[in-house]
């Protein structure tokens, strides 16, 4: 019975943890129950990965249950190679978010952990839903959870950051709702994504629906010019909120582009692709320049996310296997590296209550363990060969070369900028002499703090040296997606000519 409902159990396990937390007030027990719930969820995601058939492009572990037959609303869950990667990423980052909040949340810890578990459920629901009604419900639930995490436990600028976040997110949510209703009316009155993917929409209908969905997803990515909410939201959220917001929630927008826009509106996707490609390149360069100008550690990492997610959207809209595989791989890589950087900055903040780069220096002396890990994640962020980002960015650039060498050259400027701002930051934080007396005696990482970073460090190196398992996981699904979008067959997809 359990094996027939593995995806439902992925959603149920965090909910069971929420039920237990509502009856507990002891801090230590709250932490343990939340951690146990998230670890069980991660373990189940690994079991699904082990049972997943990588040779199949269709949805697997599908569950369907009629809820409102007259409106064709089903409880429908399914998973393919692309969504499996996002599910594993979300399930991995949530117990790490719990660990990094173990001693840092001073008030209403049980409410905080309830929101973390509810956010995990909602995020997993987005990646698993095959019915657009549930997709929308889970989508909006993530906004509510992230908002309260930010405004209740966030930094001094949390009120304005939370307001900007919720206005952008609510606007995107309204666009998403209108697009789903339009899709229902024009698509044979069904909300089922599998059925809709076989429906032939007229060209004009594709254009309008694509624009509505694209704008909703672009806000969540976020793409330029819809990125204004991101720096404040990432910087002012508590560390756990930043980890999940940057590590998993920002992937929902890119996932929506892959799950909805490309397969349902292929003509519109191809028509608008040149515009989106240039927006992506603008994000790569703009995010790098803004990161280079930052003096706040968290905002530097936040703006770097704008640049890195530009590579994701760039890879998606080149419509070839190298580009889309690189984009999906980069979604996973960005999730673990950005999460690790936010955790590291949070560990410094817990010791000094400062995010200013100028307040640090010479950390290699008092904090050698921290510096070793921080250095690894920093160089991985700009794609040092042997780290995971290198593989993802390289594949995106190879895929982009099928479209335009000019785009490749400009995009490589973003990599140069990433190296510049990361090395500049490392030089001032890690090397030299401590800028304050307090910085000279900062304690190094404790066992629990190491436990939050070491798994991510192992992944960065393992994927950088051997990305094969992740590539194999998504290969069939990506090939099927390209066929849906371009009409090319498998042999044609693998033999695309390189354009000068």
What is the per-residue DSSP string for 159-228?
A: HHHHHHHHHHHHHHHHHHHHHHHHHHHHTTS--BHHHHTT----HHHHHHHHHHHHHHHHHHTTPTTS-T
Residue 488 has a pLDDT of: 58
Q: What are phi and psi of 68, to 5 degrees?
A: -135, 80
Residue 40 has a pLDDT of: 95
Task: Tell me how far the alpha carbon of residue 38 is from its chain's centroid.
Answer: 18
Task: Tell me how far the alpha carbon of residue 45 is from its chain's centroid.
Answer: 17
Q: Report the number of secondary-structure helices (H) and strands (E) in the chain.
A: 22, 2
Of 174, 96, 106, 105, give the one whose Cα is nearest residue 140.
Answer: 174
Query: Quick check: helix, strand or coil at residue 290?
Result: helix
Of 82, 160, 26, give the one whose Cα is nearest residue 332.
Answer: 82
Rg (CA), the chain: 22
The most distant pair of C-alpha atoms in the chain lies apart, rounded to whole Å, by 70
Angle of the 447-465 helix axis to the 388-401 helix axis, nearest 10 = 40
d(CA 250, CA 231): 13
Kind and range of the H or E run holding 77 = strand 73-79
d(CA 252, CA 124): 10
d(CA 395, CA 325): 7
Q: What are phi and psi of 434, to 5 degrees?
A: -55, 135
Cβ–Cβ contacts within 10 Å for residue 408, how many? 18
d(CA 130, CA 128): 7
d(CA 299, CA 155): 13
Q: List b or e across 369-394, with b for residues whose CB sees 16 or more CB atoms inside 10 angstroms.
A: ebbebbebbbbbbbbbeebbbbbbbb
Secondary structure letter of residue 3 according to DSSP: G
- Residue with the two structure tokens 């909703």: 216
Q: How many CA atoms lie within 13 A of 387 on its CB side?
A: 19
Residue 498 has a pLDDT of: 38
d(CA 249, CA 252): 5
Query: Quick check: helix, strand or coil at residue 72?
Result: coil
d(CA 236, CA 481): 37
Instruction: Please give the torsion angle defined by the CA atoms of residues 249, 176, 396 and 87, in that order, rounded to the nearest 10 degrees.
Output: 40
Residue 420 has a pLDDT of: 93
Secondary structure letter of residue 129 according to DSSP: B
Structure tokens given for 218 = 């672009």
Query: Quick check: helix, strand or coil at residue 76?
Result: strand
Per-residue confidence in pLDDT tens, the chain, 500 aa: 455 789 999 999 999 999 888 888 888 899 999 999 999 999 999 999 999 998 888 899 999 888 887 777 888 999 999 999 999 999 999 999 999 988 888 888 889 999 999 999 999 999 999 999 999 999 999 999 999 999 999 888 888 888 999 999 999 999 999 999 999 888 778 888 888 888 888 888 899 999 999 999 999 988 888 888 988 888 888 988 889 988 888 899 999 999 999 999 999 999 999 999 999 999 999 999 999 999 889 999 999 999 999 999 999 999 999 999 999 999 999 999 999 999 999 999 888 888 888 888 888 888 899 999 999 999 999 889 999 999 999 999 999 999 989 999 999 999 999 999 999 999 988 887 776 776 778 888 889 999 999 999 999 999 999 998 889 889 999 998 998 887 755 444 444 443 33
Residue 275 has a pLDDT of: 94
Residue 2 has a pLDDT of: 53
d(CA 255, CA 221): 9
β-partners of residue 267 are none
Query: Quick check: helix, strand or coil at residue 1?
Result: coil
Query: Quick check: helix, strand or coil at residue 131?
Result: strand
Of 44, 52, 55, 46, give the one whose Cα is nearest residue 78.
Answer: 52
d(CA 35, CA 50): 23
Residue 268 has a pLDDT of: 92
End-to-end CA gap in the chain = 55
Residue 210 has a pLDDT of: 94
By residue count, the chain amounts to: 500
């Amino acid at each position: 019975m359990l094996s027939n409902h593995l995806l439902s159990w992925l959603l149920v396990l965090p909910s069971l943890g929420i039920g237990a937390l509502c009856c507990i007030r002891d801090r230590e027990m709250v932490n343990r129950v939340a951690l146990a719930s998230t670890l069980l969820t991660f373990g189940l995601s690994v079991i699904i990965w082990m049972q997943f058939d990588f040779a199949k492009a269709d949805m697997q572990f599908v569950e369907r249950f009629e809820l409102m037959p007259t409106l064709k609303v089903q409880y429908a869950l399914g998973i393919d190679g692309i969504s499996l990667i996002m599910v594993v990423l979300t399930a991995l980052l949530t117990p790490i978010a719990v660990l990094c909040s173990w001693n840092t949340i001073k008030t209403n810890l049980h409410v905080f952990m309830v929101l973390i578990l509810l956010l995990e459920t909602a995020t997993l629901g987005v990646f698993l839903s095959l019915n657009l009604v549930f997709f929308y419900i889970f989508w909006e639930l993530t906004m509510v959870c992230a908002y309260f995490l930010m405004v209740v436990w966030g930094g001094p600028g949390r009120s304005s950051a939370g307001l900007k976040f919720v206005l952008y997110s609510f606007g995107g949510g309204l666009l998403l709702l209108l697009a789903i209703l339009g899709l229902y009316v024009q698509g044979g009155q069904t909300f089922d994504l599998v059925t809709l993917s076989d429906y032939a929409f007229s060209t004009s209908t594709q254009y309008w629906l694509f624009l509505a969905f694209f704008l909703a997803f672009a806000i969540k990515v976020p793409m330029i010019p819809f990125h204004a909410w991101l720096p404040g939201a990432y910087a002012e959220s508590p560390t756990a909120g930043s980890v999940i917001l940057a590590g998993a929630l920002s992937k929902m927008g890119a996932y929506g582009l892959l799950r909805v826009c490309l397969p349902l509106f292929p003509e519109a996707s191809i028509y608008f692709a040149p515009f989106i490609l240039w927006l992506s390149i603008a994000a790569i360069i703009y995010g790098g320049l803004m990161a280079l100008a930052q003096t706040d550690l968290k905002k530097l990492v936040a703006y770097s996310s704008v640049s890195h997610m530009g590579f994701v959207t760039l890879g998606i809209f080149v419509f070839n296997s190298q580009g889309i595989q690189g984009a999906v791989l980069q979604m996973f890589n960005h999730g673990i590296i950005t999460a690790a950087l936010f955790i590291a900055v949070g560990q410094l903040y817990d010791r000094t209550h400062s995010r200013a780069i100028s307040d640090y220096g010479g950390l290699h002396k008092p904090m050698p363990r921290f510096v070793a890990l921080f250095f690894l994640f920093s160089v991985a962020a700009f794609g040092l060969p042997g780290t995971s980002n290198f593989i993802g960015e390289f594949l995106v650039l190879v895929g982009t070369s099928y479209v335009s060498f000019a785009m490749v050259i400009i995009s490589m400027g973003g990599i140069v900028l990433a190296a510049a701002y990361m090395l500049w930051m490392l030089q001032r934080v890690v090397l030299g002499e401590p800028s304050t007396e307090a910085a000279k005696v900062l304690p190094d990482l404790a066992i629990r703090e190491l436990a939050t970073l070491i798994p991510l460090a192992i992944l960065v190196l393992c994927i950088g040296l051997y990305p094969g398992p992740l590539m194999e996981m998504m290969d069939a699904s990506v090939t099927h997606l390209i066929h849906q979008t371009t009409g090319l067959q498998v042999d044609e997809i693998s033999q695309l000519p390189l354009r000068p």
